[in-house]
Chains A and B, each alone.
Chain A
Amino acid sequence: MPDTIPGSLRAYLHGLPGVDEVGVRRRAADLATRSIKTTAKRAALDLAVRMVDLTTLEGADTPGKVRALAAKARRPDPADPTAPPVAALCVYPDMIGVAAQALAGSGVGLASVATGFPAGRTPLEVKLADTRAAVAAGATEIDMVIDRGAFLAGDYGKVFDEITAVKAACGEAHLKAILETGELVTYDNVRRASWLALHAGADFIKTSTGKVAPAATLPVTLVMLEAVRDYRAATGRQAGVKPAGGIRTAKDAIRYLVLVKEIAGDDWLDPAWFRLGASTLLNDLLMQRTKLGTGHYGGPDYYTID
């Protein structure tokens, strides 16, 4: 449920402390030099696998493709049963039925993008219908896009109300609000949009659709992690963060985990509070995982391409 923002929304959001661009980039770059080796690397790789929202969001998606990906989500490494399943499978709304069937009984979450993904340029009623249909079809998580046009026009109330309405339409399903930070551009905007979405009731804030460049970056994720950390300190409610798009290597993923650990804290080092939206990342995580266990790389053909 949305909580109350004191005074006018605009005054509140513009009253948040600013973000210094040079400083936030420097901090992110500094944390990217953390050296994660041996036991730390093993723990980080497994955690990263468990945090993956395995994603396919293509116009060319078919039931066959979604079923293949669902199998991968349940058992990412057929050669190694100790590899944990991923957090969730993320698909377009019309694929939920297929995905739900393929994932039944696995414990893997089923996320669906909704609300006119990726641009979000549809009337509110359509967005709500999109959301209700996705939940009805079996989605346990809804990844909505916020109205960036309204946000950039300063119509914060519209963005807030829309998130509130979608949250209500979600029912039991978890709501991730996609800020599409590549279109918000400034870190001040990212911070304001984060707080706006959190107050409006989002369970997660997510960087990007993956359809706009730049998608997830370390500094943007850092600002969002500061937001959920400070939001919990202010309200007592914990929310999650999901960088999505452009995270392709295990090295990248571990850098995100370092950010989570050092910016938000250990409480967020859990798939319930942090996700990595990705498709190709998973294979690199598995390859590095095998390398740590066996001392050698299996090569790309030892991992499934789905």
Chain B
Amino acid sequence: MEIFEYAPAPESRSIVSIRPSYDLFIDGEFVEAKSGERIVTVNPADEEPLAEVAAAGEADVERAFAAARRAFERVWSPLPGAERGKYLFRIARIIQERARELAVLESLDNGKPIKETRDVDLPLVAAHFFYHAGWADKLAHAGLASTRPLGVAAQVIPWNFPLMMLAWKVAPALATGNTVVLKPAETTPLTALAFAEICQEADLPPGVVNIVTGAGDTGRAVVAHPDADKVAFTGSTEVGKQIARAVAGTGRRLTLELGGKGANIVYEDAALDQAVEGIVSGIFFNQGHVCCAGSRLLVQESIAEELLARLRARIERLRLGDPLDKNTDIGAINSAAQLARIRELAAAGEAEGATGWSPSCPIPERGYWFPPTVFTGVTQAHRIAREEIFGPVLSVLTFRTPEEAVVKANNTPYGLSAGVWTEKGSLMLWTASRLRAGVVWSNTFNVFDPASPFGGYKESGYGREGGRHGLEAYLG
């Protein structure tokens, strides 16, 4: 009997033209870096170099801040909100028009599946610009203490959602009248540089958005720059702490969106098949490179065995491979360094006595890959229950009562996200109100909307992005 298997369905690369080399985007133009240094960004799915980009030095960062300050004082902050809004609407529309190209570029540079860049990242990127475009002339009605912009915002973003994190940072800053110096991640600079072209296409006044590529040193120069009125960072807790130390006492405003170790709580009366979907999307969405991932599954002991059997059967169906194949569910790990970290923590899980399981999916020979992995027999004391892995590795713990579920869920230095699965409304509210996490998803996971504020507790950072609350971080 002939059973149908999915044939390869690759999205074409030809829609994207990647230049061999990129300069910095300062004052509305692409300019050579004074530093003369370059870094290479590779495709994590096959380790082939994609392009060379400039690594900005202190003199370059200086130039970017000077341009941003000039644009803030002369053009952007005096501009009526309605006019700022027009630019943001224009940017949002160009993003939609170029969505397919940007999705392919993001998949190439990051390793995430085209299905996610096409159906999640790009729609959300456009939505963030549309949403904030709407706020630009309505700040007086947002019910906030001030409608005055802060000045120049120094923004450093991570590699897991390159363009989406850019949107979360740039859109609110611009809507509120601030100008921006943004540093994209070292391993994923290409969509930010494509965004620079979009700013040109939208005739955004020079200096309103400046993009300086580079690695850690560039990032340090950006966040430590004395002319930054506001620092916004999304990334690891370790770097977040360094930034907090550097900014402390300077009077500059700071928002940090850091790591997480989200608990996904499944009660015995949950809709099991959908809970399984929520667990899968919670930890395997974007290869687990998600700060708000549901990396700890807390399942009620009475259904643990049944739920795990369903979960394993479901994971067996995940399709790992070419990120540009439209049927790929799990793409590549973003970098060799991240792969090493995931491997180290997975090995620690085994060494500490937990049991790892992965499906029998073939792993491509070239590139950075890690199979979806589920650890059972995990206890609160294990490293894989406490440390952020930032990869497709799920730690499964069990609980007996709602009290125990909440205590275990909160027993982490982080507090970014949590999920609760139950068909009982009162238990849902009881649990959600006791979880110390910035986002609590109810019978769903990893769902985002620009109108909904996002941010953390404790070591997951402070400040909110998105919604009315997100505007506050750029006004004062």
A interface vs B, CB < 8 Å?
17-20, 22-24, 26-27, 33-41, 43-44, 46-47, 226, 257, 261-262, 266, 269-270
Contacts and interface: CB of A to CB of B under 8 A. Distances in A.
Q: Is the interface of A mostly helix, strand, loop or mixed?
A: helix
Contacts of A38: 7
Contacts of A270: 1
A257 B5 CA distance: 11
Contact of B443 (A23, A39, A43, A44): A23
B274 A19 contact: yes
Interface string B278-320: 1000000000000000000000000000000000000001000
Contact of B274 (A20, A40, A41): A20
Given A20-B275, A43-B5, 19 more contacts: A17-B270, A17-B271, A19-B271, A20-B274, A22-B274, A23-B278, A26-B277, A33-B115, A34-B6, A35-B9, A35-B326, A36-B7, A37-B7, A37-B9, A40-B4, A40-B7, A47-B3, A257-B4, A266-B3
B443 to A, nearest CB: 5
Interface of B: 1-9, 115, 119, 269-275, 277-278, 317, 326-327, 423, 443-444
Contacts of B9: 35-37
A27 B326 CA distance: 16
B279 to A, nearest CB: 11
A198 to B, nearest CB: 16
A113 B278 CA distance: 39
Contacts of A17: 269-273
Contacts of A43: 2-5
A153 to B, nearest CB: 23
B444 A22 contact: yes
A23 B2 contact: no
B273 A19 contact: yes
A47 B2 contact: yes
The residue among A36, A46, A270 with the most chain B CB atoms within 10 A of its own CB is A36
Nearest to A223: B273
Given A23-B443, A27-B277, A262-B317, A269 B3 contact: yes
A39 B327 CA distance: 15
Contacts of B2: 43, 46-47
B6 to A, nearest CB: 5
A106 to B, nearest CB: 20
A26 B274 CA distance: 9
B277 A35 contact: no
A266 B313 CA distance: 13
Nearest to B280: A27
Given A20-B271, A22-B443, A23-B443, A33 B326 contact: yes
A40 B272 CA distance: 31
A26 to B, nearest CB: 7
Contact of B4 (A22, A27, A44): A44
A113 to B, nearest CB: 28
B5 to A, nearest CB: 6
B1 A18 contact: no
Contacts of B275: 20
A26 B447 CA distance: 11
A18 B327 contact: no
B273 A24 contact: yes
Contacts of B8: 37
Contacts of A226: 273
A262 B327 CA distance: 12
Given A19-B274, A20-B271, A23-B278, A41 B7 contact: yes
A89 B326 CA distance: 36
The residue among B6, B7, B277, B443 with the most chain A CB atoms within 10 A of its own CB is B6
Contacts of A257: 4
B269 to A, nearest CB: 7
A261 B3 CA distance: 9
B444 A34 contact: no
A261 B269 CA distance: 27
The residue among B3, B277, B444 with the most chain A CB atoms within 10 A of its own CB is B3
Contacts of B444: 22-23, 26
A269 B443 contact: no
Contacts of A37: 7-9
A33 B269 CA distance: 30
Contacts of B4: 36, 40, 43-44, 47, 257, 261, 269
Given A18-B271, A19-B273, A23-B278, A40 B5 contact: yes
A266 B271 CA distance: 24
The residue among A20, A47, A261 with the most chain B CB atoms within 10 A of its own CB is A20
A43 B270 CA distance: 37
10 contacts: A18-B269, A18-B271, A20-B423, A26-B277, A34-B326, A37-B8, A43-B2, A43-B5, A47-B3, A47-B4
Contacts of B1: 270
A122 to B, nearest CB: 36
A66 to B, nearest CB: 30
A193 B367 CA distance: 48
Nearest to A261: B4
A269 B4 CA distance: 8
A257 B6 CA distance: 11
Nearest to B272: A17
